[in-house]
Chain A
Amino acid sequence: MIVVASWLEQSMTRGILTSRYPKEAASDDEVPPTGRPPLPVGGPAPGPRARDSCPVGAISDTEVDQGKCIRCARCVAAGLTFTGPVEAATRSRSDLMRLSDGPAPSPGSPPPLASLGRSLHVFLVDVGSCNACNLEVLALANPYYDAQRLGIFFTNSPRHADVLLVVGVPTPEMVEPLRRAYEALPGPKAVVAVGACPISGGAFAGVRDLAPSLEGIVPVDVFLPGCPPPPVAILDALLKLNGRDRAARGGR
């Protein structure tokens, strides 16, 4: 608490401080209490009480599907805690069930996309979000997170982008505009699904008319759980694309 106050004070009086992430691990201030994936305390199996506590069916008797989790904290009373890695993004959908094994990707997980190069040009597409994900993505451009220092640039048009950041649950009205935006990317290109909404529908899972996930519409290269994921997690998800993330740099 004291730490944040002094962070703000310093930034006000001496110019803005910039996040040390990913050179250093994410600080406590950068990770909200619900910013990490919930995991069963003391063992891999959540059990039936936890299963019944979850409003979106993210918990089965044996595992937690982070792609569905909306971080509502209802399972905390049934023995789960938000202790998973803040770097929760995975290259495959099924790895989102295995975050309790630690942040290392599973053996079958695809490697980084060498074709993307060191800098990423990112275009944000909202296909039906609540705005929180949009705002967390936009925060990367502000001087505190300063994504530019990591070679991440936001573009004004999909034509100048190689990465599509998709937020929200795909509504029928947005399916075509999304497809067109994807096709406008010149390539090589990649898609990041930001938040529970595009991965599984999140809080809107099962609502009539809405697409069950982004995967049926465009190919997805990185899955980033959270509702919304904090800015550092979005940075990590982007850096996982070109292999410049904290884990790849040897950080933990």
Chain B
Amino acid sequence: MRRPSWRVESAPAVGGVGGSRALAYVPDDGGFALYNDYAEGVSVLSTAASRPEDEPAVFWRADRDRVRPHTLAPATEIDGYGIFTFPYGPISMGVPESGRFDVRTYGERVLGLVPVGGFKSRRIRDAVVGRPVVDAALLVERMAGNFSAAHVSAFLAAAESAEAKEVPTAEYWVRGLAQELQRIYNHLHLIARVAEAASQNVGLAQTHALAEEVLRVQAEFFGHRWLFGALIPGGPARRLAPADRHGLSERLGHLAEEFERLWLLFLESRTFIDRIQSTCPVARSEAIRWGAVGPTLRASGVAWDDRLRIPVPPYDDLFVPLPQESGGDALARVTVRAEEIRASFLILEQILDRWAAAGTENEPAGTPVAPGRGIGRVEAPSGDLVYDVRVTAGKVDALQLRSPSRANWPVFAAGMRDAVFTDFHFALESFGFAFAETDG
């Protein structure tokens, strides 16, 4: 049994942070901000009022003014003869989700780009209010179906912190397994999408096949291809008895081998490497300045991973490799993801081993201690995901989140400055965005 931390007792402490830092979280109600201080390797809570005016997160002001939900303001006004704004979307070819990009251009070069979200807003933040935690979780897992395990894990961690509720160890193991499997799926899917956009055919079919296989493993062991229902306390869908876990372990070994074979195909393909090298580069300083998270941040040379820096169980007790690149381009982002697939297989193996050794199967769930407010943070496939949840009498009072997509949009916009428009698709795909989780 473990009792989660990150319960917000009262007004959060104001932390002075120096060195290189990036904003992690600004809730719409302006409650507080959370900084990752990369120089010190810590996260710091601070009130919004203490934020300097030249805060890197330019999009925050647009939010506060409610110009339009999730409109990211352009860094600079670009003007000149023949320059116009080309609205791309919300329904646009090649982007499988609804969202818009306002592209500032005079033809072929992208001078500036503003991602405009809000089209897919299903009002989840409002809709969960008043619902019991287990029912709210049904909506939270649909925040982004392909990142459901991360969202539910962060949400539950926040709710459990809020109520200071003890959690059976096995629940954490299940969350770890689900998150790592889904990370593998998303990274594979991203590699396939980038390869497709870059017209790379070698290995493409196999990548799709492997991604499909991961979905089938999820269906078989968690009851659902997208893990819906699998992490909700008392959820009936999953079956992970010792014998099932043994079967899962065998399947994973097989998948890991196939992945090694597959990744070799990509590394040997000069055309693929050449095409994505130097595309949409994000320098280390830019990544920090614009608040990049996840593989995007690590591809720009910053060694930060929530699973290592601020681990929630089970990650506090596991060996988590930290792949890093310094190029900051699409190639670096794809390489980090590929390395992370390997890392995830290793983590999955560790969880299954620990679980088998510990043999804790049927610990009862704890009871809520008090109403309150808690924060849940996990390393989602595309990066740091933060939930801030208030719970009273088992029901959600308020919910805010800062998704990795939300954090990385300005980074993408910065990387696309001066790019050619033909790079747009695979530059976009190399970040692993979801408008769904940005809009909520």
Interface membership of chain B positions 72-112, coded 1 if the CB is closer than 8 angstroms to chain A and 0 otherwise: 00000000000000000011011011100000000000000
Q: Which residue of A lies closest to B232 (CB)?
A: A72
Q: Are B98 and A142 in contact (CB under 8 A)?
A: no
Cβ contact of B209, chosen from A12, A33, A132, A171, cutoff 8 A: A12
Tell me whether A16 and B146 are in contact in the complex, defined as CB-CB below 8 angstroms, given that A34-B237, A125-B91 are known contacts.
Answer: no
* B205 part of interface (Cβ distance < 8 Å): yes
| A144 / chain B contacts, CB cutoff of 8 Å | 208-209, 212
Which of A1-9, A103-111, A242-250 touches B?
Answer: A1-9
In whole Å, how far is A170's beta carbon from the nearest beta carbon of chain B? Answer: 10
In whole Å, how far is A156's beta carbon from the nearest beta carbon of chain B? Answer: 4
* A62 part of interface (Cβ distance < 8 Å): no
Question: With A and B bound together, what is the CA distance between A178 and B369 in angstroms?
Answer: 47
Q: Are B90 and A130 in contact (CB under 8 A)?
A: no
Question: With A and B bound together, what is the CA distance between A142 and B192 in angstroms?
Answer: 10
* A71 part of interface (Cβ distance < 8 Å): yes
| B135 / chain A contacts, CB cutoff of 8 Å | 55
* B206 part of interface (Cβ distance < 8 Å): yes
Which of A83-91, A93-101, A200-208 touches B?
Answer: A200-208
| A11 / chain B contacts, CB cutoff of 8 Å | 205-206, 209
Max chain A C-beta neighbours (<10 A), residue from B121, B122, B220: B122
Q: Are A210 and B210 in contact (CB under 8 A)?
A: no
Q: Are B120 and A128 in contact (CB under 8 A)?
A: yes
- What size tier do the contact residues of chain B reach? 35 or more
Chain A residues 11-32 with CB under 8 Å of chain B are: 11-12, 15-16, 29, 32
Interface membership of chain B positions 215-226, coded 1 if the CB is closer than 8 angstroms to chain A and 0 otherwise: 010011001111
In whole Å, how far is B253's beta carbon from the nearest beta carbon of chain A? Answer: 10
Q: Are A204 and B224 in contact (CB under 8 A)?
A: no
| A5 / chain B contacts, CB cutoff of 8 Å | 251, 254
Q: Are A132 and B223 in contact (CB under 8 A)?
A: no
* B345 part of interface (Cβ distance < 8 Å): no
* B286 part of interface (Cβ distance < 8 Å): no
Tell me whether A177 and B90 are in contact in the complex, defined as CB-CB below 8 angstroms, given that A11-B209, A130-B142, A210-B123 are known contacts.
Answer: yes
- What size tier do the contact residues of chain A reach? 35 or more
In whole Å, how far is A208's beta carbon from the nearest beta carbon of chain B? Answer: 7
| B313 / chain A contacts, CB cutoff of 8 Å | none
Question: With A and B bound together, what is the CA distance between A243 and B214 in angstroms?
Answer: 32
Interface membership of chain B positions 396-424, coded 1 if the CB is closer than 8 angstroms to chain A and 0 otherwise: 00000000000000000000000000000
Question: With A and B bound together, what is the CA distance between A135 and B192 in angstroms?
Answer: 13
| B226 / chain A contacts, CB cutoff of 8 Å | 132, 228
| A32 / chain B contacts, CB cutoff of 8 Å | 216, 219, 223-225
Q: Which label, helix, strand, loop or mixed, suits the secondary structure of the A interface?
A: loop
Q: Are A130 and B225 in contact (CB under 8 A)?
A: no
Q: Are B143 and A173 in contact (CB under 8 A)?
A: no
**Top 9 A-B pairs ranked by shortest CB distance?**
A132-B145, A32-B219, A156-B93, A130-B145, A142-B208, A130-B142, A143-B205, A207-B127, A173-B119
Q: Are A171 and B208 in contact (CB under 8 A)?
A: no
Q: Which residue of B lies closest to A231 (CB)?
A: B212
Show 17 A/B contacts (Cβ-Cβ < 8 Å), sorted by A: A1-B251, A4-B213, A73-B236, A126-B120, A130-B148, A131-B97, A132-B225, A132-B226, A132-B228, A169-B122, A173-B120, A204-B123, A204-B139, A204-B142, A207-B122, A207-B126, A208-B127
In whole Å, how far is A213's beta carbon from the nearest beta carbon of chain B? Answer: 14
| A143 / chain B contacts, CB cutoff of 8 Å | 205, 208-209
| A134 / chain B contacts, CB cutoff of 8 Å | 96-97
Cβ contact of B122, chosen from A29, A70, A171, cutoff 8 A: A171
| A209 / chain B contacts, CB cutoff of 8 Å | 123
* A181 part of interface (Cβ distance < 8 Å): yes
Q: Are A124 and B123 in contact (CB under 8 A)?
A: no
In whole Å, how far is B434's beta carbon from the nearest beta carbon of chain A? Answer: 6
Tell me whether A128 and B121 are in contact in the complex, defined as CB-CB below 8 angstroms, given that A11-B206, A73-B229 are known contacts.
Answer: yes
Question: With A and B bound together, what is the CA distance between A8 and B436 in angstroms?
Answer: 31
* A129 part of interface (Cβ distance < 8 Å): yes
* A198 part of interface (Cβ distance < 8 Å): no
| A181 / chain B contacts, CB cutoff of 8 Å | 91
Question: With A and B bound together, what is the CA distance between A91 and B124 in angstroms?
Answer: 30
* B261 part of interface (Cβ distance < 8 Å): yes
Question: With A and B bound together, what is the CA distance between A77 and B127 in angstroms?
Answer: 26
Q: Are A131 and B144 in contact (CB under 8 A)?
A: yes
* A227 part of interface (Cβ distance < 8 Å): yes
In whole Å, how far is B161's beta carbon from the nearest beta carbon of chain A? Answer: 24
Q: Which residue of A lies closest to B204 (CB)?
A: A143
Tell me whether A171 and B119 are in contact in the complex, defined as CB-CB below 8 angstroms, given that A11-B206, A126-B97, A134-B97 are known contacts.
Answer: yes
Question: With A and B bound together, what is the CA distance between A206 and B127 in angstroms?
Answer: 9
Q: Are B90 and A173 in contact (CB under 8 A)?
A: yes
Question: With A and B bound together, what is the CA distance between A133 and B236 in angstroms?
Answer: 22
Question: With A and B bound together, what is the CA distance between A134 and B163 in angstroms?
Answer: 36
| B120 / chain A contacts, CB cutoff of 8 Å | 126, 128-129, 168, 171, 173-174
Interface membership of chain B positions 176-217, coded 1 if the CB is closer than 8 angstroms to chain A and 0 otherwise: 000000000000010000000000000001101110110010
